[in-house]
Structure 1
Amino acid sequence: MRSVLTFFEYVPDRARAASVFEEFGKRMLQLGDLSLDPDEPREVLKPLNFAPTPSSIARSLFAEEVIDAHLDALARLQQPDGGWPITYFVWTPATELEGRSWRTIEALCILRSYGRLGN
Structure 2
Amino acid sequence: MALQLHFSFQLALLKSNCMVKKMMYLSIYLRKRFLLLKSYFKVSSPEVLSSFINRLTMWWFNELCRLGVKKPLEPSDLYSLNDDDSSTVLVPRWSKLWEKKLNGKKRSF
TM-score bucket of the superposed structures, by smaller chain: under 0.3
Per residue, is there more helix in 1 or in 2? Answer: 2
The higher radius of gyration belongs to 2
TM-score normalised by structure 1 residue count: 0.26
TM-score normalised by structure 2 residue count: 0.27
